[in-house]
Amino acid sequence: MSADHAHSFAAADALEETAAPAGGGAPAARARSDEVLLSVENVSLGFGGVKALTDVSFDIRKGEIRAIIGPNGAGKTSMLNCINGFYHPTEGRITFKGQTRPKMRPHEAAAGGIARTFQNVALFKGMSTLDNIMTGRSLKMRTNVFWQLVRFGPATREEVEHRRKVEDIIDFLQIQHIRKTPVGKLPYGLQKRVELGRALAMEPELLLLDEPMAGMNLEEKEDMSRFILDVNQEFGTTIALIEHDMGVVMDLSDRVVVLEYGRKIADGTPDEVKANQAVIDAYLGVPH
């Protein structure tokens, strides 16, 4: 052994420490800014007599993973639908990137940089994985119908560019083997992954995930968790997610907001939320 390797003892320890958070998925090591990307202020949402949300306020900071949890019917999906403009709050305001828009439609939200996935997979079943993810790029396409019809010139160049982006995503999500497979034939876990791919193709600033692990087995959940962390780290995407698996929520997220019967009952780091009596009561029930 040459003397050149003598230094390696000390270096090994230093490396261990930095590697542990990245491998273990503890969010502490990730750099966070305090800049608010999206804020929800006193939002209420009613359908006729039913109040889905009552006076909810919280914010999402740039670069964080924010979880929204709560028992069934707590209004989590309604909240997500408000954020991406599918519902309009009856009261309150939503500010995204410093701009408050009174009535935002989903396509405006999408153009503004908000992408989402759905609780029940919403893909084009007959189309291939590749084509499904390509649809995520449609908002970014600039050439007109004429050029797209003639299939040469600017439209082709543009498509090559988009295809390159899509291939990056396919590589990122490790779904090369199903590139040409119609998504209807894929198992559920993979469909979820394709849906995430389509959302990523929009290169969003804020990614909304509605129960990304629903119906998955342990291994699929672990894979999906890895992808969510990687998206957050590699692309710096801010993520808001709804999830029922508490283990996943507590491991992945930086901050958690808890809803019950349309009201916010807690907000804070996973540890704070876990210790909150109102949250414990909401999940375990209290004698009335």
Residues that bind other proteins (CB under 8 A): 1-2, 4-5, 7-9, 11-16, 18-19, 22-23, 29-30, 163-164, 167-168, 170-172, 174, 176-177, 179, 230, 233-234
How far apart are the C-alpha atoms of 191 and 185, rounded to whole Å? Answer: 9
Which of 231, 273, 215 lies closest to 249 in space, CA to CA? 273
Q: What tokens does 117 get? A: 């996935």
Measured from the CB atom, the residue of 16 and 49 that comes closer to other proteins is: 16
253, two tokens: 């997220």
The residue (of 3 and 284) whose beta carbon lies closer to other proteins is 3
Helix (H) or strand (E) holding 56: strand 50-61
Separation between Cα atoms, residue 68 and residue 238, nearest integer Å: 14
Q: How far is the CB of 155 from other proteins (least distance, A)?
A: 20
Residue 179: CB minimum distance to other proteins, A: 7
Q: Which residue has the tokens 């957050």?
A: 232
Who's near 229: CB < 8 A, 6+ residues apart?
A: 25, 65, 252
The distance of closest approach from Cβ of residue 252 to other proteins in the complex, given in angstroms and rounded to an integer, is 15
Nearer to other proteins, 55 or 167 (CB): 167
**Cα distance between residue 224 and residue 284, in whole Å:** 27
> Which of residues 171 and 281 has its CB atom nearest to other proteins in the complex?
171
d(CA 241, CA 245): 11
As measured in angstroms, the least distance from the Cβ of 119 to other proteins is: 28
By beta-carbon proximity to other proteins, the closer residue of 54 and 129 is 129
**Distance in Å, CB of 115 to other proteins, minimum:** 21
> CA 249, CA 150: separation in Å to the nearest integer?
48
Minimum separation from the CB atom of position 26 to other proteins (A): 12
Q: Order the strands of the 50-61 sheet from edge to edge.
A: 50-61, 36-47, 91-96, 99-100
Q: State the Cα torsion 151-140-237-72 to the nearest 10°.
A: -100
Taking the complex as a whole, how short is the minimal distance between the CB of residue 142 and other proteins, in angstroms?
Answer: 23
Give the whole-angstrom CA distance, residue 135 versus residue 132: 5
Q: Which is nearer to other proteins, 64 or 211 (CB)?
A: 64
Nearer to other proteins, 4 or 34 (CB): 4
Q: Which is nearer to other proteins, 163 or 263 (CB)?
A: 163
Shortest distance in whole angstroms from residue 245 CB to other proteins: 22
How far, in Å, CA of 228 to CA of 137, rounded? Answer: 20
